[in-house]
């Protein structure tokens, strides 16, 4: 069978199993998406603070940046940067953004990359050598698994949030350097890692702790610093990954680490060395959101405070639970379906009601755990939540 015939056969198998993915051309409109001439309330995105539907989305970034950081520091062409940071694209906007992160996390260093997937896929190959052992929660993101498979270190998985199983592996690894990898808030189940207990285990066994805060950064903790900071264990984390393309409605990601680790990553992190830099306009948006998380300086001009947006999101989660009886410990709420067919049918029922839902199928989740992944945000009104509650009751 030639390559084309094999690919056609593979696609046919996926389609027969209800597992064929396709791209949908949509036009984002704040809280909504427009597709096929119809507008849908977007309940599948990660804009948890609804910044893309807020006054921030029309802010004059150049003016803001000039007033805050100085016009002389800004690139004259905000949409350029066509090189890697190590070639010619380490613009002042990177310095501005990484300085904002260092201010948010005092005593730590920050290194910014173009996206969280790139960062997670490169960290362990850059830092863990073949003498070390990596222990990763079974449900860590695919980007972290990518890094494990391309590195020199041995890696093992432990059952999700099973501290007893983790401790047994730590005991067997006595004498070795060990990394432990978790997410603070898991992207498909919406549950949290036992971070305080992990910090206590670290005290006992001396491993290095790597936490991906992609879905809790800007949403949880003081000044939006994440769930680790909310629980008071952020200083116990050796590598803290925060992404800007979710609650911050931007692009890019950063690792918060020691200055020594940052120097090593600049020399060994392949996704940094071999990828094109972000444009200055994107870096300035990220820096603006970070600064507003910390200072709330635009509130006096009528902009919603980042803290008030986090509070509104929390209120929406409580209201969702009141209306549906479904627990909402985070903004990510899985609605179990149990099969591809049921998940696809639920997504279609949602779209018929004007709600953009997405069926989550294997291999994103294991077979039998197919679901709708609801993603709530701070911009939802009580009318929106009532509409969603009506659909949940209809779906059962």
pTM summary value: 0.95
pLDDT tens-place string over residues 298-352: 999 999 999 999 999 999 999 999 999 999 999 999 999 999 999 999 999 999 9
Q: Do residues 163 and 220 both lie within one domain?
A: yes
Q: Do residues 92 and 232 both lie within one domain?
A: yes
pLDDT tens-place string over residues 118-175: 999 999 999 999 999 999 999 999 999 999 999 999 999 999 999 999 999 999 999 9
pLDDT at 177 over 80: yes
The catalytic position among 98, 132, 137, 212 is: 212
Q: What gap in Å lies between CA 98 and CA 82, rounded to an integer? A: 20
Q: Which helix (H) or strand (E) holds 351?
A: helix 340-352
Q: What gap in Å lies between CA 175 and CA 230, rounded to an integer? A: 32
Q: SS3 sequence, 215-278?
A: CCCCCCCHHHCCHHHHCCCHHHCCEEEEECCCCCCCCCEEEEECHHHHHHHHHHCHHHHCCCCC
Q: 46 catalytic, yes or no?
A: yes
Q: Is residue 12 part of a domain?
A: no
Q: Is residue 29 part of a domain?
A: yes
Q: What gap in Å lies between CA 192 and CA 334, rounded to an integer? A: 14
Domain boundary among 257, 282, 297: 297
Q: How many CB atoms lie within 10 A of CB 20?
A: 14
- Residue 364's pLDDT is 84
Q: 54 catalytic, yes or no?
A: no
Q: 215 catalytic, yes or no?
A: yes
pLDDT tens-place string over residues 254-299: 999 999 999 999 999 999 999 999 999 999 999 999 999 999 999 9
Confidence category of residue 81, pLDDT binned at 50, 70, 90? confident
Find, among 308, 273, 295, 267, the residue nearest to 100 by Cα: 295
Strand partners, 15: none
Q: Is residue 280 part of a domain?
A: yes
Q: Over the range 301-315, which residues count as b (16 or more CB within 10 Å of their CB) and which as e?
A: eebbebeebbebbbe
Quick one: angle between helices 280-295 and 92-104, nearest 10? 20
Q: Do residues 206 and 256 both lie within one domain?
A: yes
Q: Is residue 377 part of a domain?
A: yes
The catalytic position among 91, 202, 230, 246 is: 246
Q: Do residues 287 and 370 both lie within one domain?
A: no
Q: Do residues 271 and 186 both lie within one domain?
A: yes
The catalytic position among 46, 81, 216, 275 is: 46
Q: Do residues 246 and 330 both lie within one domain?
A: no
Q: Do residues 157 and 284 both lie within one domain?
A: yes
pLDDT at 218 over 90: yes
Before 363, cis peptide (omega within 30)?
Answer: yes
Find, among 53, 54, 60, the residue nearest to 74 by Cα: 60
DSSP state of 88: I
Q: What gap in Å lies between CA 122 and CA 178, rounded to an integer? A: 17
Q: Which helix (H) or strand (E) holds 372?
A: strand 371-375
- Residue 44's pLDDT is 96
Q: Do residues 151 and 218 both lie within one domain?
A: yes
Torsion sign, CA atoms 131, 109, 262, 216 = positive
Q: 141 catalytic, yes or no?
A: yes
Cα torsion at 346, 348, 351, 353 (round to 10°)?
Answer: -70
Q: 67 catalytic, yes or no?
A: no
Assign residue 29 the CATH number of its domain.
3.90.1150.10
- Residue 394's pLDDT is 87
CA neighbours closer than 13 Å in the CB half-sphere of residue 71: 1
The catalytic position among 215, 234, 340, 375 is: 215
pLDDT at 45 over 90: yes
Q: 246 catalytic, yes or no?
A: yes
390 vs 364, more confident: 390
Give me the number of domains the chain comprises. Answer: 2
- Residue 366's pLDDT is 87
pLDDT at 69 over 80: yes
Check if the beta carbon of residue 102 is closer than 8 Å to that of residue 290.
Answer: no
Q: What gap in Å lies between CA 73 and CA 68, rounded to an integer? A: 10
Q: Is residue 5 part of a domain?
A: no
The catalytic position among 143, 187, 275, 369 is: 187
Read off φ and ψ for residue 148, nearest 5 degrees: -65, -40
Confidence category of residue 367, pLDDT binned at 50, 70, 90? confident
Find, among 251, 17, 210, the residue nearest to 114 by Cα: 251
The mean predicted confidence, pLDDT, of the chain is 96
Q: Do residues 329 and 204 both lie within one domain?
A: no
Domain boundary among 297, 326, 348: 297
- Residue 318's pLDDT is 98
- Residue 202's pLDDT is 98
Q: What gap in Å lies between CA 272 and CA 342, rounded to an integer? A: 41
List the domain range (segments joined by +) for residue 356. Answer: 24-54+304-395
Domain boundary among 267, 297, 327: 297
Check if the beta carbon of residue 215 is closer than 8 Å to that of residue 377.
Answer: no
Q: 286 catalytic, yes or no?
A: no
Q: Do residues 49 and 87 both lie within one domain?
A: no
pLDDT tens-place string over residues 199-217: 999 999 999 999 999 999 9
- Residue 390's pLDDT is 95
CA neighbours closer than 13 Å in the CB half-sphere of residue 347: 19
Check if the beta carbon of residue 371 is closer than 8 Å to that of residue 334.
Answer: yes
Query: In the chain, what percentage of residues exceed pLDDT 90?
Result: 93
- Residue 396's pLDDT is 74
∠ CA 21-22-26, rounded to 5°: 135
* Residue 388, both tokens: 């969603």
Q: Region 53-74: what's the mean pLDDT?
A: 97
Q: Is residue 1 part of a domain?
A: no
Q: Do residues 188 and 318 both lie within one domain?
A: no
Assign residue 264 the CATH number of its domain.
3.40.640.10
- Residue 18's pLDDT is 85
pLDDT at 1 over 80: no
The catalytic position among 141, 202, 225, 384 is: 141
pLDDT at 33 over 90: yes
Q: Is residue 284 part of a domain?
A: yes
Q: Do residues 88 and 45 both lie within one domain?
A: no
Q: How far apart are the first and last CA of the chain?
A: 45
Q: Is residue 14 part of a domain?
A: no
């Amino acid at each position: 069978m030639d390559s084309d015939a094999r690919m056609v056969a593979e696609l046919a198998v996926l389609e027969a199993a209800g597992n064929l993915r396709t791209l949908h051309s949509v036009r984002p409109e704040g809280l909504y998406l427009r597709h096929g001439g119809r507008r849908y309330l977007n309940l599948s995105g990660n804009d948890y603070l609804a910044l893309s539907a807020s006054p921030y989305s029309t802010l004059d970034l150049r003016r803001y940046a000039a007033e805050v950081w100085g016009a002389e520091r800004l690139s004259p062409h905000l949409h350029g940067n066509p090189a890697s940071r190590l070639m010619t694209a380490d613009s002042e906007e990177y310095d501005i953004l990484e300085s904002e992160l260092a201010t948010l996390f005092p005593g730590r260093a920050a290194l910014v990359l173009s996206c969280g997937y790139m960062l997670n896929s490169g960290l362990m190959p850059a830092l863990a050598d073949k003498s070390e052992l990596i222990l990763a929660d079974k449900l860590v993101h695919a980007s972290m698994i990518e890094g494990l498979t391309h590195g020199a270190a041995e890696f093992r998985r432990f059952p999700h949030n099973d501290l007893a199983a983790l401790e047994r592996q730590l005991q067997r690894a006595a004498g070795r350097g060990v990394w432990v990898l978790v997410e603070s808030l898991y992207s498909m189940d919406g549950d949290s890692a036992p971070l305080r207990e992990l910090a206590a285990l670290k005290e006992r066994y001396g491993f290095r702790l790597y936490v991906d805060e992609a879905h809790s950064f800007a949403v949880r903790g003081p000044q939006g610093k994440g769930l680790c900071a909310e629980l008071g264990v952020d200083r116990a984390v050796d590598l803290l990954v925060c992404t800007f393309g979710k609650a911050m409605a931007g692009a890019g990601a950063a690792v918060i680490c020691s200055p020594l680790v940052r120097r090593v990553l600049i020399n060994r992190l392949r996704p940094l060395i071999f990828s094109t830099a972000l444009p200055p306009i994107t870096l300035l948006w990220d820096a603006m959101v970070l600064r507003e998380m910390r200072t709330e300086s635009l509130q006096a001009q009528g902009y919603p405070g980042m803290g008030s947006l986090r509070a509104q999101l929390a209120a929406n989660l409580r209201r969702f639970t009141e209306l549906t009886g479904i627990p909402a410990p985070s903004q990510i709420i899985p609605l179990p379906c149990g099969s591809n067919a049921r998940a696809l049918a639920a997504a279609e029922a949602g779209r018929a009601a004007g709600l953009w839902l997405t069926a989550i199928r294997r291999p994103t989740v294991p077979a039998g755990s197919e679901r709708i992944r609801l993603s709530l945000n701070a911009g939802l009104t009580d009318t929106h939540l009532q509409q969603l509650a009506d659909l949940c009751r209809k779906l059962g």
